[in-house]
Chain A
């Protein structure tokens, strides 16, 4: 079978407090993300252990696949609005997608 040549897009991953989910998804849509995937997460970082057992200790991981420009915009936005007061990390990487028009 012939393999489709993929197009490169950016994968932006945000790991942060569950409490931010509503605000963050609103921001993502406003900044031009076509879609995103959210999973519940737990772990440990500079702000301590996040066990995820109940409301206040839960984390989420948000994955967004988008164009370079959108990814930069989102990264700058969350850095400015949430980095000071919330547990949050943002990762950026390249991924190959098969249907570039979706992202």
Chain B
């Protein structure tokens, strides 16, 4: 088993056993910042090598997917899960958006196996952070409600994740491969080590959801494991449609399957305050993140192989 996953399991176990282990929040902030910048930088460097306009159709596909996914599961949450409107809208937004941590694990998984993927996937990651937030807000409040677009815009476009990813992309793009080389030891060579520390903390955070999982798990457990698999299927189909390589297809499936826990919780807390954050975080952090990291990623690679007729 990949050591970074062992770090996650270690964090999970330590959290469940209530070990005296707590990463200072400044460390978590720093580590997640490094991950976001690394992913952005790597994408920017690669993007410098291809004409910018050629990625626009894929960006459009990503935006449409980001709008469609939350709309698909909202009725399920309302009628099968019997959630109140703001709760259903908030959970739908979490699942329509993406998880950078899951993406990073998938990138590391591919790197270990020396599988290539398209350079613009980090760009699609940024793009996919955003549409679901808007869909979630509209689902919760209705189209005609009076909205403070300025603060919503701030939440959507100036959240930590989006800003760091875009900053990294631009720096990588402007500096190019040679320009970035001197800072490579921190951002690229240490990537897996940083990811390991990040996953340790994620294990602790996921374990902290255990008590609410007992309370809400009856619906959320099947929901949080089935939705990513179905969404990964959709992502695989779209990846194939966009003519991506198996590696790219798998990463796009991971983007579809993952659920946000940075950008969306903050945006929903501000824009849909009636939604109970415990529900969406239990689902996205307590169930879907561990599922994707431990089971999903190898499974979505199988999807990509089948789709490309190589499996």
Contacts from A to B (Cβ < 8 Å): 17, 19-20, 23, 40, 48-49, 51-58, 82, 84-86
CB of B187 to closest CB in A, whole Å = 21
Task: Decide yes or no whether B50 CB sits under 8 A from chain A.
Answer: no
Q: Do the beta carbons of B22 and A53 come within 8 Å of each other? A: yes
Chain A contacts for B269, CB-based, 8 A: 17, 19, 56, 86
Q: Which of the 9-residue segments B34-42, B70-78, B273-281, B293-301 touches chain A?
A: B273-281
Q: Do the beta carbons of B273 and A53 come within 8 Å of each other? A: no
CB of A1 to closest CB in B, whole Å = 40
Q: Which of the 9-residue segments B174-182, B233-241, B258-266 touches chain A?
A: B258-266
Q: Do the beta carbons of B277 and A56 come within 8 Å of each other? A: yes
In Å, the complex CA distance between A55 and B281 comes to: 12
Q: Do the beta carbons of B23 and A55 come within 8 Å of each other? A: no
A40-B25, A58-B25, A85-B273 known; A53-B204 Cβ under 8 A: yes
Interface of A: prevailing SS? mixed
Chain A contacts for B87, CB-based, 8 A: none
Task: Decide yes or no whether B208 CB sits under 8 A from chain A.
Answer: yes
A17-B269, A19-B270, A23-B270 known; A55-B205 Cβ under 8 A: no
A-B contact pairs, 21 of them (CB 8 A): A17-B269, A19-B266, A19-B269, A20-B270, A23-B151, A49-B208, A53-B23, A53-B25, A53-B204, A53-B208, A54-B25, A54-B28, A54-B32, A55-B262, A56-B266, A56-B269, A58-B25, A85-B273, A85-B274, A86-B269, A86-B273
Chain A contacts for B58, CB-based, 8 A: none
Chain B contacts for A57, CB-based, 8 A: 205, 208
CB of A21 to closest CB in B, whole Å = 11
Closest 9 CB pairs of A and B: A85-B273, A19-B269, A56-B265, A54-B28, A19-B266, A53-B25, A52-B25, A85-B274, A54-B205
**How many residues on chain B are close to A (CB under 8 Å)?**
22
A40-B25, A85-B273, A86-B273 known; A55-B266 Cβ under 8 A: yes
Q: Do the beta carbons of B201 and A55 come within 8 Å of each other? A: no
CB of B260 to closest CB in A, whole Å = 11
Most buried by B among A17, A19, A51, A86: A19
Q: Do the beta carbons of A48 and B278 come within 8 Å of each other? A: yes
Interface 1/0 per residue, B60-90 and A, CB below 8 Å? 0000000000000000000000000000000
Chain B contacts for A23, CB-based, 8 A: 151, 270
Chain A contacts for B160, CB-based, 8 A: 55
Chain A contacts for B22, CB-based, 8 A: 51, 53
Of A53, A58, A85, the residue contacting B205 (CB under 8 A) is: A53
Chain B contacts for A85, CB-based, 8 A: 273-274
**CB closest chain-A residue, reference B212:** A48
**CB closest chain-A residue, reference B285:** A56
In Å, the complex CA distance between A51 and B23 comes to: 11
In Å, the complex CA distance between A26 and B160 comes to: 19
CB of A57 to closest CB in B, whole Å = 8
